[in-house]
Chain A
Amino acid sequence: MQPEAVELIVLAAAALAFAVAFSPRAASRRELLGKGSVGIVGAAAIAAVPTFDLALFVVLALGVVHSVVEGKRPLALRLRGPVVAVTLLALGAVFARVQGPDVLERLAAVGIVAGLAAAVGVLPYLHPIDPEEQLTSSPVVWLAFVGPVLAAVIVERSQSFLPVDAAGAFGALLIGLGLVNVVWGGAAAWLTESEAAAWRYSFVADWGLVLCGLGLIVADGQRAAILVLFSIVLCRLPLCLVSLEAPREKAVTRRPVNLVVAAALAGSAPFAGFAARLLLLRAATQLFWPLAVVLAAGMLLWLPGSLRLGRSLGLPKGRQAVGVALVLAVNVAVGLYPLPLLLAAHL
């Protein structure tokens, strides 16, 4: 198993432990543990299987299982994302493996990047959401729980069969798609009416940074990607859970805790997102400095959306207050000293 994938599985397990420990309702805790364990096993299987093609079968199986979990969205909507992802990834693999002109290699890169976007649920393949739906059956599972492992595996395994000439197109497509997601996700998290949709778009914006990091072939880009994935799994996901799990108990407030949470979500210093953004800007500067300017401008879009999402937590009390404090502490620790996280991923 590749080290990044192992690390992301451990992070997902930690996020599940957080959800179980700090969920406000006992019934919800049991359900989270059961369904979350299935997700962890699925993510581990994606990373453990030896080939790209076997990973596609695991994604398909996981997609089918997730689509039949009790939820409010129709089956067709829930199944489409994983099936379209597997379709595009498989077509990409076919194009990469056949002999022929260069255009087939570029089509392979398009298929794999589009398949990755469809699997995770970022633009242009946003999975529809239902604000009333539970987190276990919502698209957030793909965005923040299984998606990070899947992205690490797909990007690493596709290098084994993508021709060298297609690697440039692959990176450029990742960066282009990443920028679109940064801008769209950041603006939509700020402007959309629904709170659940705002959380979803904030994940999309973070994924934009991940895609840019994965597309920048220098080491700092990969390091930035793993740090943003960390902040998705162990910052945004737990805070989203706290915000959405107790809708009747919260009121929109502007207390100091809301500002601190907003700072963590926006990737301000000293949280983990800040280190990720610095590394990403450094990587972009090494490769093509105007890209760093565009990324820096895009990063400003996190501020209004994060302030809104920070306020949506209300005033956490009891068990949830402990959970929020723990998330913030872990993110400060990783933001100040990210080296162990990067070393564990061999980056």
Chain B
Amino acid sequence: MVEAAAAFVAWLGASVVVLSDGRRGLALGVALGAAGIAVIALDVAGPIAAGSIALGGLVAAAGRLGSGREGWHIMPAGSTPRLVLCIAAGLLALWVAAGVATGPGAPLRFTAMVVIGLSGARVLGGEDAPVLFTATGLLALSVALAAGTGLNAPEPWPFLAAAILAGSIAWISPRPVRAA
């Protein structure tokens, strides 16, 4: 039950990242996503992995609060396609994780698939650096879950690497593109 709730929180976090344009919304999304992933990682790979993900998500959220568009900007005008994407991705991942795939670990499968998919989609649809780097950081955290899929006792290294990557990316301030 706890894992199912964590998977829902992770989906919610990834959806907030998809639906937000402001720094607070993005920070909230990455924090929620990391919290959900950390709870699942605790069950899959132990406390070191879970702690790494939680810390990485916290650093990423803090970094995002420092740069980007002011405010929340959750579901701004014209974001209906993004909302449909979040719901459709959630339903599709739920069907594949719980209906098509077999064996234990449905919340892990669901979280890995939906967060990876939504983060990748956010980068495809985004233009602003804070949005792109937030989604990339969340993608890194979810790729660690992919490493834990199907293994009995995954090592904590992918989770540590994901945390370092997600925490670092959020603090990058790219130089503006030069005019041609």
Contact = CB atoms under 8 A, between A and B. Distances in A.
Interface of A: 51, 53-54, 56-57, 60-61, 64, 67-68, 70-76, 79-80, 83-84, 86-88, 90-91, 93-94, 96-101, 103-104, 130, 132, 161
Contacts, number: 120
A51 B127 CA distance: 32
B149 interface: yes
What's the dominant secondary structure at chain B's contact region? helix
Nearest to A56: B143
A161 B140 CA distance: 20
Contacts of B109: 94, 98
A70 B150 contact: no
Interface string B118-145: 0110011011010011011001101110
A94 B113 contact: yes
B143 A86 contact: yes
Size category, B interface: 35 or more
B161 A104 contact: no
B34 to A, nearest CB: 16
Contacts of B132: 75-76, 79
Contacts of B165: 57, 60-61
B36 interface: no
Contacts of A53: 143-144, 146-147, 158
Secondary structure at chain A's binding surface: helix, strand, loop or mixed? helix
Contact of B158 (A51, A67, A132): A51
A72 B100 CA distance: 45
Contacts of A73: 177
A87 B117 contact: yes
A54 B139 CA distance: 13
Nearest to A93: B146
